[in-house]
Amino acid sequence: MAMLEIKDLEVYYGAIRAIKGISFEVEAGEVIALIGANGAGKTTTLHTITGLVPARKGSIQFLGQELTRIPAHKIVTLGIAHVPEGRRIFSEMTVYENLLMGAYIRKNRKETEETIAYVYERFPRLKERAKQIAGTLSGGEQQMLAMGRALMSHPKIMLLDEPSMGLSPILVSEIFTIIKEISAAGTTVLLVEQNAKKALSIADRGYVLETGNIVLSGTADELKEDESVRKAYLGE
């Protein structure tokens, strides 16, 4: 059984059906790319997984547990960390406090300090800026902080929503290298991206989302070779 299994999921905003019955799965250890144009429903899908938006129909199973009835604040305790679109760091708190927030569900303070040390090792720039107010960080640093904050909960799976958004090509590469490292360290990754090329370069498999439907799926190599994907998402 897959780690994360989504079946016939439908999500509405008022009367508008934003997700129209999608199914997909993520196996433990995989990096899965969910690609699609702006407005396709990628963010909505992630929000539904972590309970920020309710599902109307269908199911979301994580390690055999149904998520659609669990309140949002309990979902992180199951091992799901969500790095939201636009980072959503706590911009009036310090970098250090943001990391503490990431460990909110963890009780052992000593262990938390150890995890912070680990995050600082992975993101040395966060360590330099530990006492700085997070809102004053650059876009790339804020993305790193959002990812570091997610790591603080020791997730089994990390959901990343457009981590490359608004970053320079060099920073984008840096962020993707880190995602690969996080995956190599044993965390499963569900990666939402408009930057399909980058996403498919590190993914094992991918799904293409179009106006609330999954229109294509396959291994990353298959998708990279697919005519319609090349045209629509790889700009070729």
Partner 1 sequence: MESVIEQIINGLRTGSIYALIALGYTMVYGIAKMINFAHGDIIMVGAYSLYVFISLLHIPVILSILLSILVCALLGITMEKVAYKPLRNAPPLAVLITAIGMSFLLQSLALLIFKANPIPFKSIIKLAPVKIGSITIAGISIITFLVTTLIMIFLTLFIRYTKAGRAMRAVSEDRQAAELMGIDVNRTISMVFAIGSALGAVAGILYVCQYQTLQPTLGALPGIKAFVAAVFGGIGSVPGAMLGGILLGVIESISKAYISSELADAIVFSVLVLVLLLKPSGLLGKNRIEKV
Ligand X SMILES: Nc1ncnc2c1ncn2[C@@H]1O[C@H](COP(=O)(O)OP(=O)(O)O)[C@@H](O)[C@H]1O
Shortest distance (Å) from residue 17 CB to ligand X: 9
Q: Count residues near Mg ion (CB under 5 A).
A: 3
Of 89, 151, 160, 232, the one binding partner 1 by CB under 8 A: 89
* Residue (24 or 123) nearer to ligand X, CB: 24
Q: Provide the 8-state DSSP code for 103.
A: T
* Residue (41 or 51) nearer to ligand X, CB: 41
Q: Which does 101 bind (CB under 5 to 8 A by kind): partner 1, Mg ion, ligand X, none?
A: partner 1
Q: Which does 206 bind (CB under 5 to 8 A by kind): Mg ion, partner 1, ligand X, none?
A: none
Beta strands in 94-204 (DSSP E): 157-161, 188-193
DSSP string, 143-173: HHHHHHHHHTT--SEEEEE-TTTT--HHHHH
In the chain the first and final C-alpha atoms are separated, in Å, by: 36
Of 13, 109, 117, 135, the one binding ligand X by CB under 6 A: 13
Q: Which does 40 bind (CB under 5 to 8 A by kind): Mg ion, ligand X, partner 1, none?
A: ligand X
Do 22 and 6 meet the contact criterion of CB atoms below 8 Å apart?
Answer: yes
Do 65 and 223 meet the contact criterion of CB atoms below 8 Å apart?
Answer: no
Whose structure tokens read 């963890």?
106
Shortest distance (Å) from residue 151 CB to partner 1: 13
Using rule CB under 5 A, residue 43 touches Mg ion: yes
* Residue (42 or 82) nearer to Mg ion, CB: 42
Site for ligand X in 42-61 (CB under 6 A): 42-44
**In whole angstroms, what is the distance from residue 118 CA to residue 111 CA?**
11
Site for partner 1 in 111-170 (CB under 8 A): 133, 135, 149, 153
Q: Which does 73 bind (CB under 5 to 8 A by kind): partner 1, Mg ion, ligand X, none?
A: partner 1
Using rule CB under 6 A, residue 40 touches ligand X: yes
Describe the chain by its helix, strand, coil percentages, rounded to 5.
40, 25, 35
Per-residue contact flags (x/-) with partner 1 for residues 33 to 72, judged by CB under 8 A: -----------------xxx------------------xx
3-state secondary structure of 216: strand
Do 200 and 192 meet the contact criterion of CB atoms below 8 Å apart?
Answer: no
Site for Mg ion in 71-130 (CB under 5 A): 85
Exposure of 110 in the CB half-sphere (CA atoms within 13 A)? 0
